[in-house]
Amino acid sequence: MSYKGILGMNARNLKYIRPNNLKSKVQIVDDKYATKELLKKHGIPVPLFYGVVGSVREFENFNFNKLPQNFVIKPNRGFGGGGILVLKGKEKKEIFQKRKIEKRKWLDSDSNEFTFEMLKSHILDIIDGKFSLSNQPDTALIERKVVADKELLSLCGKGVPDIRVVVFNNVPVMAMLRLPTIRSGGRANLFQGALGVGVDIASGEATAVVVKTPRRQLIDTHPDTGKEIIGFVVPFWEEILKIAVESQLVTGLGFLGVDIVVDRKQGPVVLELNARPGLEIQTANLEGMQRRLERVKGLDIKTVEKGIRVGQELFGGDIERRVEDVSGKEVVGIIEEVTLLNASGNKKIKELAKIDTGAESTSIDLQFAEKKLGFKEVVKTTNRLMEETEEEDPVKLKKILKRKLAKEDSLIEEFAVVRSSHGITVRPCVKVVFYLAGKKKTALANLKDRAGLKYQLIIGKRDLRNFLVDPGKKPKKVAEKP
C-alpha cells in the first residue's frame, strides 16, 4: 500500500469535517432515532422500529409482550458498537410465543443465554448512559433484527455483513465491505477481528481483503468458510450507492459515512450514519482517501445520479465499465458463469460456460440438460422418434422428424441434423433462458453429448449480440460442477 494521499485524523477533522459538517446537523446524525425518522420521511429504507424507551417511566410502561422472537437493542447515542445487543429466541417460535415474557430466553450473538431480567437490566444501563458518547442519559432503541442476504452470508457463515460508503460532496468516494468472523463474535467490527474488504466504486467488486487481528495482513479467502472473496460482487450495488448519496443529501452533511446492510427481505437498508467516519477504509482499499476527496472538492453535484456517475468514472478501477458506457455493450470473457433456468422455470442452476464466437448457436450437454435442467422428456422423445425412423438422408430425415414432432406434446422446438465423418447426428433444440453478465437471454439451444469436454455449456454468437468478448477477462465466480 502506498502512503501517498493517506488521510490522517487531524486532516480529516480540519479539512473535511469542520468545514462541511455543521454542528447542528452532526447532532442529528449522532441521534440514531432522529436520523432514522429523517431517512424514513424521505423514503430511504431503514430497519423497522419496535419501540423506543427513553426513561424509567417509559420502561415501566413498555409492553415487552409485543416484541417478536428476534430483535436488536441499541443505545441511541452509542458509539463504536458499544451496547448493541442482538437477540434471537432460544426456542422454536411456537414454544417461545406460548411462554410468559418472564420465562422467555434468548441467545446473543456469542450464543450466551439472555433472560428477561438480563434484558431489562441492559435497557436500564442504556437509559443510565453507560454506552452514550458522553455518559449522559440515553434512549434504548428496539428494532427488527436484520437477516443477512444469502449471497453475503455465504462468504462469512455467520453474523450480518455491512457496507460502509464514504460520501463527500454528494459523490461516493470510497467503499468497504465488512465481513464478520468467528473471532469477531459475528460482528462486522474490524477491531474485533472482522475483515475489511475494499470495494470498487464502479462495479461493486471486491478488490482486496485486510484483517487487523491477530496481526494485520492481506488475505484472499475468509478464514472460517474458506470462500474466495476477491472478485465477489456486492449485490444491489447501484442501489447501495443511491441510498448512500441520498442519505447525504437529506442530512446536509458534506462528509459522511453511510453504513448499509442487505436484508434478505427488505434489500439494502441504512443501519447507521456516521459524521466522523473512521479511516480504516483506506487500508481495505490499499489506497489513501485524500486524493479522491480533493478530486471532487468544489464540484457542482446537485443530483444523486450525477454524484454516482462522477464517483464511478473517477474511482472505478475497472476499465470495462467505460468500454460498456461507450459501446453500450457488456464486456464478457471467454469463460463466464451463467445462471440458467430449468425447463419448468422455477429453479436456477449456475454453470461455467465457454463463450465461443466461432460457434453459430448455443449448445448444452445432453446429460446435463436431462439431469440438471429437467429435459428428461426431450431425451426420451428424441430416442423414440429416432427408433421409429430409418431414413438416412439428412434433408429427408429432418422433414420426417418435423412432421412427427408436430404431433408430439414436447418441449422440443426443432431438430438439428448434422452429417459428419462419424455419420448422421440428430440434436433436439429447446428454448433455454439464461442470464449472462446480468442480462436475460432466451436461446434456442441444441442438446448434444459433450461428455469428456471441460464445459457443458457453449454460448454461440447468435446469443452474443450486445456483448463484447475480452479474452483476458477472468470469470468473477466459479460455479460448482454438478
When comparing pLDDT for 382 and 18, which is higher?
Answer: 18
Nearest to 32, CA basis, from 49, 56, 20: 49
Say yes or no to pLDDT of 1 above 60.
no
Say yes or no to pLDDT of 343 above 50.
yes
Average pLDDT over residues 42-50: 95
Say yes or no to pLDDT of 317 above 80.
no
Mean pLDDT of all residues belonging to the chain:
90
DSSP 94-161: HHHHHS-GGG-EEE-TT--EEEHHHHHHHHHHHHTTTTBTTS----EEEEEPPPBPHHHHHHHSSS--
The pLDDT tens digits for 176-210 are 999 999 999 889 999 999 999 999 999 999 999 99
Assess contact for 260 and 165: CB atoms under 8 A. yes
Number of neighbouring beta carbons within 10 Å of residue 139? 20
Q: How confident is the model at residue 477 (pLDDT cuts 50, 70, 90)?
A: low
pLDDT of residue 81: 78
pLDDT of residue 40: 96
Assess contact for 199 and 163: CB atoms under 8 A. yes
Helix (H, G, I), strand (E, B) or coil at 20: helix
Q: How confident is the model at residue 480 (pLDDT cuts 50, 70, 90)?
A: very low
pLDDT of residue 422: 67
Average pLDDT over residues 417-424: 75
Interstrand relation of 439-448 and 363-365 (parallel, antiparallel or unpaired): parallel
d(CA 205, CA 234): 6
Q: How confident is the model at residue 476 (pLDDT cuts 50, 70, 90)?
A: low
Average pLDDT over residues 397-417: 87
Helix (H, G, I), strand (E, B) or coil at 393: coil
Say yes or no to pLDDT of 74 above 70.
yes
pLDDT of residue 110: 82
Nearest to 163, CA basis, from 139, 144, 146, 183: 146
Q: How confident is the model at residue 9 (pLDDT cuts 50, 70, 90)?
A: very high
Say yes or no to pLDDT of 308 above 60.
yes
Average pLDDT over residues 282-297: 93
pLDDT of residue 326: 47
Report the DSSP beta bridge partners of residue 198.
176, 208
d(CA 295, CA 7): 14
pLDDT of residue 324: 58
Q: What is the pTM of this model?
A: 0.66
Say yes or no to pLDDT of 34 above 90.
yes
When comparing pLDDT for 377 and 421, which is higher?
Answer: 377
Average pLDDT over residues 374-393: 84
Q: How confident is the model at residue 474 (pLDDT cuts 50, 70, 90)?
A: low
d(CA 440, CA 225): 31
Say yes or no to pLDDT of 482 above 50.
no
d(CA 193, CA 331): 36
Q: How confident is the model at residue 479 (pLDDT cuts 50, 70, 90)?
A: very low
pLDDT of residue 2: 52
Average pLDDT over residues 299-314: 94
> Where is average pLDDT lowest: 90-94, 164-168, 235-239, 309-313?
90-94
What is the percent of the chain where pLDDT is above 70? Answer: 94
CA 362, 337, 165, 294: dihedral to nearest 10 degrees?
-70
Assess contact for 184 and 192: CB atoms under 8 A. yes
Cα dihedral sign, 143-144-145-150? negative
Cis peptide before 172 (omega within 30 of 0): no
When comparing pLDDT for 259 and 231, which is higher?
Answer: 259
> Where is average pLDDT lowest: 125-129, 271-275, 324-328?
324-328
pLDDT of residue 5: 83
pLDDT of residue 229: 93
Average pLDDT over residues 275-284: 94
Please, what are the domains in the chain?
9-43+149-317 (3.30.470.20), 49-144 (no CATH), 331-469 (2.40.70.10)
Nearest to 218, CA basis, from 244, 236, 197, 247: 197
pLDDT of residue 79: 79
Average pLDDT over residues 296-308: 94
d(CA 279, CA 258): 13
